Amino acid sequence: MKNSNETPESVNPQERIGDWVLYKNNHLIAFNKPAGIPTQADKTGDKSLLQLAEIFTKSAVQLVHRLDRPASGIVLVSKTAKALANLNEQFRNRQIQKTYLAVADALPAEPKGRLEHWIWKNGQTNRSVISTEKGHANAQEAILEYQLLGSSDRYHLLEVKLLTGRHHQIRAQLAAMGCIITGDVKYGARRSNKDRSIHLHAWKLSFQHPVSHETVVLTAPLPVDSVWDAMGAFLEKS
């Protein structure tokens, strides 16, 4: 298995999809999605990971969960209706553990903590709005836990455990506490990354296999760029 190291401009998705496979069997397939690839079809018309997965497997498949286009990391795809129903139930019961890595441009006030907000999506701007009170009819509870893993002169690496799965949740909640993800101009970053990615990576995923019931733990290698290369050293120490 090769790392998902391509930048969005260098990716030829149909040729490289096989290199992104982290895990596969008759029921599931997991990909290490590069930044810049949409998880599902969007208005750009670019090939989505779902479309590429169907080309790769030569069969109809369904997404188990989603990942923002400018982010990278694990995306799980179901090959069977039985597996999809089981995994959806695990998500509803919060049995699936999702761990992300985020590179922020500022230190958090505390090295570790739990963020609890109300969140809702502004459809006109495609941004999520954060509040400490339920001030909107469509607001949902958003909860995550974070821990600072290390800092360089300019950047700070956070491990984020997502306890609810809301639209742009990590991006919006970290920005709300003053730790904007690098490159994420939608949530206040001063500049975009050259490849329009953001430094948010779906790093680990733990779940119960829907048929064998064995625990599956997946880890997605980091993308390769100067920022992730520098931050990777802190993972070796943690």
DSSP state of 121: E
Kindly report whether the global pTM for this prediction surpasses the value 0.85: yes
Residue reference for tokens 């607001």: 139
CA distances from 156 to 94, 152, 159 (A): 28, 6, 10
Q: What is the Cα–Cα distance from 140 to 65, expressed in whole angstroms?
A: 18
Neighbours of 3 (CB within 10 A): 14
CA distances from 48 to 43, 106, 203, 235 (A): 11, 32, 20, 30
For 176, phi and psi rounded to 5 degrees?
A: -65, -25
* Tokens linked to 10: 């260098």
Give the percent of the chain with pLDDT over 90.
76
Give pLDDT tens digits for 62-95. Answer: 999 999 999 999 999 999 999 999 999 999 998 9
- Domains of the chain, with CATH numbers? 13-237 (3.30.2350.10)
CA dihedral defined by 161, 162, 163, 165, rounded to 10 degrees? -170
Give pLDDT tens digits for 143-190. Answer: 999 999 999 999 999 999 999 989 999 999 999 999 999 999 999 999
Give the ranges where the chain is alpha helix by DSSP (H): 13-16, 49-57, 81-92, 169-176, 226-237
Contact 131, 105 (CB under 8 A): no
